[in-house]
Each structure stands twice: as C-alpha cells, then as structure tokens.
Structure 1
Amino acid sequence: MRRGFICKKEILDKLKKIYDKIVEKEYNGNYLSAIQNFDTFAEATLRDNLLKFYKNQRSRDQAWKTCKGSLYEYAVFKVIEQIIIEDNELNSMFMVTMSDKDLYNYKDQVAIKNWTEIFPDADILIVEKNKNLVRVIISCKTSLRERLTETAFWKREIEKTKNEKILLIFMTTDKDDELKIDTNRYILLHVIDYTFITDRSKYTKLLESYKKKYGNREDFQKLISKVRFIADIKDFLHTL
C-alpha cells in the first residue's frame, strides 16, 4: 500500500511510457534484461523528464527519489508479469498485481487487524488463481537506508497473524551496497524469505563479501541460497 509522498500520476505515467519504449527498442521487449540496467538508464535517461514539472532543483531531486522508486516497482512488476504470461504452467496458476485497488481487494489476507487495518509494505502481490490466495508479497526498494528493518518487521507480523503461509520477497538494486551491513545481512539471511538483486555486479560483489566474511560458517550455503539474482526469478516461481 502506498504511504507518504506519492509521485504525481502524470509524471509516473510518462516515465512508464518512456521505460516501455526503452525496453522495446534497446532490449527487444525483454523486461528481465532491462531491469538489470535499471539504475544506469534511470539516472541517465529518465531523470531529466522531471525538468518540466519541477523548476526548483531541490524539489526535483526530492520528487525523483519517489518517482524512481515507483518506477522500479513497475519495472519489477513487468518482469514478473511477462514471465507468467509467457509460461503456460505459471499462467494457469498465478496472477500478479500492483494496483492499489487490487491490493485493497486482498486486504483480508495481507492486512494486520488491530483496532484498524494496518497494511504491510506490499508493492506487488502474486496470487494463486484457483484458491484466490496471496502466495507472495513483494517489497521493492532501490536504496535501503533504515527501511529494510520495516520489511523485516512486517515479515514477523505476517508470520504471527496469518494462518496461510505468505512469502515475503525483497527486490532491490542494492544501489549503495547497503546489504553488506551486518544488520541488513541478518535480515536477508534470517528474516525475509528471499531477496532478489536486479543488478548483476551488485549481486556478485555482495556474495563475494558474504563469502569472505562468513563462508566458513556451517550454515552458510543454506542461508546464502536465500539471496538470488533476478535471472533466477522464473525458477523460483515454479517452486511456489
């Protein structure tokens, strides 16, 4: 559910259209390939589109942080949507949604009820069609700061309050290498179900860092399997 400052709809719609054109022209319509370079062309090509909407540099920079985050959610959604549509088995089993209206339709499955309905950090849902059950909640962030602890909190609350098993998946570019921080490493390996990194170089460097510091631990191989590169997302969906 969306909270706080929201990217203006007209700006986000424009960014989505430009993104789709880039994917079609430069990546032959392959959203999985495109998202692996998201940070690069988002900063180089898409950011300047805010010039006509914000004349003030400070306002423009602040707006870009939110708009980029919303666009990243869209980019992740398009990857999963395309994979499901193009795979007959997955398409018969699952649907994916990210609209606020659709997310609200599943409030009974994802909301924490305590005096009021409190919604977790749910950007995208993967739903099992036959049972109309939410199987996966996806939280997307390009950069983390302290917000990964929020995702961890919701994972724990979902575990305590929901009868059905719902996986919580974290998607990120790991733009600022924040996953190397021990607090975040603990959350990835011991709290969140799976993490997918969409930048290959960041993924490779992160695993090298973890292996150097913790590779001799007995449970390392088991835990590190929870951190994956985005190219593995199709195989993961087939395990649901």
Structure 2
Amino acid sequence: MNFKDLEKLYLEKKQQFGTEAYKHISELLEEAKEIHKADWQNNKTPKGDHEQSWRAFKGKNLERLVQYIITDEVEKMGLKVVNGNRLERSTKLSKELSQVKRNLAIDYGKFGLHLPDVDVVIYNPRNCKVLAVISIKVTLRERIAQTGYWKLKLLQDKLTKHIKVFFITPDEDGVLTSKKPAKKGRAIVEVDLDGSYVLTKDKIEESNKVKLFEHFIDDLKQLLKNEAYDND
C-alpha cells in the first residue's frame, strides 16, 4: 500500500460525504489498515510486526493526506504549502524555498539556526514570509507539548513571532473533547498554540482555539486578511 491508495480512499469519502469527508478520516484509516495488513503479510519485515509497520505508515501518510486536502484551498488564496521535512532535509532547495527556510529558522546563538519540527509550512510566495506552520498527528500525545515548545521559541524572535502554530489531528484519544475539565493536551492547545483543528464526526466542545477541521480554511483566510491589514 502507498499514499496513492490512501488518496483514492479519501476521494471515495469525498464523493460520498462531500465537504464533511474530513469527519471520516479515522474510518478511512481503519479501511487502509486492512489493505496495509494484506500487503504486509505478503512482504513481512524481519523481526517486525504489522502494528509497528502500520503505525509508521499511518503517521507519515496522515501528514501527506492533510497536506493534500488543504493545498488547493490554500493556493486559491495566493499562498503556497511546503512539507516541513523537505525544508529540513533537502540540499537542493529553490531560491524561494531557501528564503522560506531562513524566514522560519530559530536562532540558537552560537549553536546555529535550526528549523522547528513541523509537518506543513504555509507561506506567501510574493515575499517568502511564513504565515503558519502545522503539526499533524493521529493523537495529541505524539507531539503536542513539543509543538507548544516551538510556538514559544518562534515568539522569542521578532522575525518569527508572527508565525501561527496549528495542530491538526483526528484526536483518536479524545483529548480535545471537553473544555472543562481540560486534559493536559487541551490545556496546551488553549494556552500555548494558535489553534487545533479536529478531523472527527464526534461531538467536541469547541472554543476559539479548538474547532472542527471545517473551520481551518476560513480561519486561514482571516489570518491572511489581518496580515494584509497589518502591512498597510
């Protein structure tokens, strides 16, 4: 199984559920798991097990799927999307992406410039200014505290303090479900991040910082509008 198979499953959900296809991401992943298991049984890894192989595939390809889902709408706004790993690892970046990388880097003084660990970067191609970064994980426990750390580091430099830090997740552990009493992950989102968007059909107690995924593009449009206003 590869990402194209996952993309096909999503397009089937989109045909079935339209704009609410995002609510069925966890269901899609369960379907994908069965296909992945059948493939794995035909090509078993030495001393490995399917759960381990599936977790690696699931995490990596959820990031790619969310990037795939948002890219068209983001580009309609005149913005661009780039994978964080590409900025981190590629040794042959274009001039544009090299500038984006510089504009996102955190200064650790004598220890050099380093990029935050994020999955997706949204930037303005006209000036290479980074507007937002996104961490995408199946559950909050995988990286929510680390994402909060990167937000605090970005805030410390006048060149990066404007960058919004978002988290997108199916929240399969239900950490974001309730505002009060808040679980630790919800508290981190509410206090330290700029927002989290949930890929679920379950009911969640929404706030200014925790919303269903359907609000992401509208919030990004508002962010772009505010950015244009600030630059006037």
- TM bracket (short chain): 0.7 to 0.9
Q: Structure 1's 28 and 102: CA in aligned 2 closer, same or farther, altered over 3 A?
A: farther
Partner amino acid, structure 2, of 1:236: D
Which AA in structure 1 matches 2:114?
A: I
- Quote the residue 2:175 is aligned against: 178
Aligned partner of 2:65 in structure 1 is 75
Shift of 1:161: 2.5
Matching residue within 148, 152, 164 for 1:152: 148
Partners of 1:31 and 1:79 within 8 A in 2: no
One-letter code aligned to 1:59 = D
2:3 maps to 16
- Secondary structure of the 2:172 match is coil
Conservation of the 8 A alpha-carbon contact between 2:175 and 2:183: no
Task: Identify which of 108, 111, 115 aligns with 2:105.
Answer: 111
Q: In the alignment, which residue of structure 1 is the partner of 2:208?
A: 225
List aligned pairs for 1:6-85, cutoff 5 A: 14-28=1-15, 33-46=20-33, 47-48=36-37, 49-55=39-45, 58-85=48-75
Letter in 2 for 1:239: Q
Pairing of 1:88-167 with structure 2 (within 5 A): 90=77, 93-98=78-83, 100-102=85-87, 105=98, 106-114=100-108, 115-145=111-141, 147-164=143-160, 165-167=162-164
Asked if 1 retains the 8 angstrom alpha-carbon contact of 2:135 and 2:168, the reply is yes
Q: Does the 8 A contact of 2:141 with 2:185 survive in 1?
A: no
Does the Cα contact within 8 Å between 1:31 and 1:75 map onto a contact in 2?
Answer: no
Relative distance call for 1:32 and 1:81 in structure 2 (3 A) is: farther
**In 2: Cα distance, 1:132 partner to 1:77 partner:** 19
CA distance in 2, matches of 1:43, 1:175: 12
CA separation of 1:74 and 1:152: change in aligned 2, threshold 3 A: same
Q: CA deviation at 1:66?
A: 1.8
Share of identical aligned residues, percent?
23
3-state SS of 1:27 partner: helix
C-alpha deviation, 1:58, in angstroms: 4.7
Q: For this pair of structures, how many residues does the alignment match?
A: 204
Tell me how far apart the structure 2 counterparts of residues 26 and 147 of structure 1 sit (CA, whole Å).
Answer: 27
Does the 8 Å CA contact 1:98/1:124 hold for their aligned counterparts? yes
| Aligned equivalents of 2:18, 2:165: Cα separation in 1 | 22
Give the SS at the match of 2:205.
helix
3-state SS of 1:158 partner = helix
Deviation digits for residues 24-62 of structure 1, max 9, x if unmatched? 344239895433212112122343243334356853211
Whole-angstrom CA distance in 1 between matches of 2:158 and 2:65? 29
CA contact (8 A) 1:35 1:75 kept: no
Q: 2: distance between equivalents of 1:172 and 1:24?
A: 19
Question: What SS does structure 2 have at the residue aligned with 1:207?
Answer: coil
Q: Secondary structure at the match of 1:96?
A: strand
Separation in 2 of the partners of 1:143 and 1:56? 28
Distance 1:32 1:53 in 2: 36
Question: What is the TM-score normalised by the length of structure 1?
Answer: 0.75
- 1: CA distance, partners of 2:10 / 2:116: 30
Q: In the alignment, residue 231 of structure 1 is paired with which amino acid?
A: E
What is the one-letter code of the residue matched to 2:58? Answer: K
**Contact 2:118–2:135 (CA<8 Å) still a contact in 1?**
yes
